[in-house]
Structure 1
Amino acid sequence: MTQDLNLSGAVLIAMPGMGDDRFDRSVVLICAHSDDGAMGLIVNKPAEELAFSDLLEQLDIDGADEGRDIRVHLGGPVERGRGFVLHSGDYDSPGSMTIEGGFGVTATLDVLQALADGGGPARAILALGYSGWGPGQLEEELARNDWLMLPQAEADLIFAEDAGGKWVSHLRALGVDPLVLSPAGGRA
């Protein structure tokens, strides 16, 4: 089923009325996709109650005065206690996974220490949890019109400061006016 379709680096944009409140107006960067399923990170749902500095303190990571402060997001409903740093492709460590389109994701403490010390990737967000799909599940959701898909992520949209505007900006990148979207899909 997915042999000819690799969605790594694609962006899913939740359609209105998809039926799952956890993904309402979500923008998801697909990090991995294979016959075994898919894994992605929501990039537009900030974790308002948690700052990066709070997380570093919880993990006993000391930073330098010039340490960086990155945004913390809710990456999805699976394993919310696990953190993933989604970053630009200029950072690589033994624990990094490359994502199509010049992105990477790292789930090891070394990237957090690098950021706390003022280094690390040029662009980054921290996602708590991830979005996961079993074999064929994502393809079924796409066929049901639960998601629109932007075939290749754009870094300026993924790392934009305005998390609340990412859903609209990704729709516009597809040439879709959010005001004309209907929760009902159809086939001709």
Structure 2
Amino acid sequence: MLNSIKPKTGRLLVSEPFMADPNFKRSVVLLTEHGEEGTVGYILNQAGNLLLKDVIQDLWEANNLIYFGGPVAADTLHFIHRCYDKLQSGEPIGNDLYWGGNFETLRILINTNAIREDEVKFFMGYSGWDHGQLDREIDQNAWMVSDIFNPDLIFNNDDEQLWRDVVVNLGPKYAHVSNFPIDPSLN
């Protein structure tokens, strides 16, 4: 399933359908940093069972799901957003998406209902690769890379459908992969 698109900040990693690593099974990862120091990203389609208000006590009405961002620093909270106009902070990652920002401002905006749930996505932990590690995994066909996606996909809450949509967006060469069963032994 080799594709020729290289990883880069703002691109998506799509796990091959039968990846053995349970942390990344049928995962879509948004890359927020890719360079000489390595790669950082967040798994977009592994919703946890906690809401933001369960983790941050003074966010009374914050019903945002918290996603498993990856196995690194699983006790840290991170966010991706598309509301720079309101937050006035964050690192640009492309497609009018931003990584992080001023959390105190975000807290105020959430408590005053100035930010919608579909404008920000929260993650516990992150996914990380040392320099060259991700390239090796791509060469081993563990990942496909996508540079074409609608930013609305980032805030989609249907985990399995998100993976399928991104695979289909890779083009006709990959579209059939979206129909592979989760467990081929049950087929």
TM-score, normalised via structure 2 length: 0.80
In the alignment, the residues of structure 2 paired with residue 157 and residue 62 of structure 1 have an alpha-carbon distance, to the nearest angstrom, of: 25
Report the AA paired with residue 14 of structure 1. S
Measured after TM superposition, the shift of residue 129 of structure 1 is 0.5
Matches within 5 A, 1:24-39: 24-39=25-40
Deviates more, 1:126-135 or 1:18-27: 18-27
Aligned residues: 169
Deviates more, 1:138-147 or 1:155-164: 155-164
Measured after TM superposition, the shift of residue 101 of structure 1 is 1.8
Aligned CA RMSD, in angstroms, stands at: 2.2
* 1:69 pairs with 2:70: no
Deviations 1:46-75 (A, max 9, x none): 012x11221221xxx255xxx553221010
Report the AA paired with residue 53 of structure 1. K
Measured after TM superposition, the shift of residue 107 of structure 1 is 5.7
Question: Structure 2: which 5+ runs fail to align?
Answer: 1-5, 182-187
Larger helix percent: 2
Measured after TM superposition, the shift of residue 125 of structure 1 is 0.9
SS in 2 for 1:149: strand
Matches within 5 A, 1:140-155: 140-155=136-151
1:186 is aligned to none
In the alignment, the residues of structure 1 paired with residue 115 and residue 158 of structure 2 have an alpha-carbon distance, to the nearest angstrom, of: 22
* 1:157 pairs with 2:148: no
Measured after TM superposition, the shift of residue 126 of structure 1 is 0.5
Query: Percent identical across equivalent pairs?
Result: 25
Matches within 5 A, 1:102-141: 102-106=96-100, 108-110=102-104, 111-120=106-115, 123-141=119-137
Question: Structure 1: which 5+ runs fail to align?
Answer: 182-188
Q: Using a 3 Å threshold, how does the CA distance of structure 1 residues 6 and 169 change in structure 2: closer, same or farther?
A: closer
Q: Using a 3 Å threshold, how does the CA distance of structure 1 residues 115 and 152 change in structure 2: closer, same or farther?
A: farther
SS in 1 for 2:23: helix
Q: Is the 8 A contact 1:12 1:28 kept in 2?
A: yes
SS in 2 for 1:73: strand
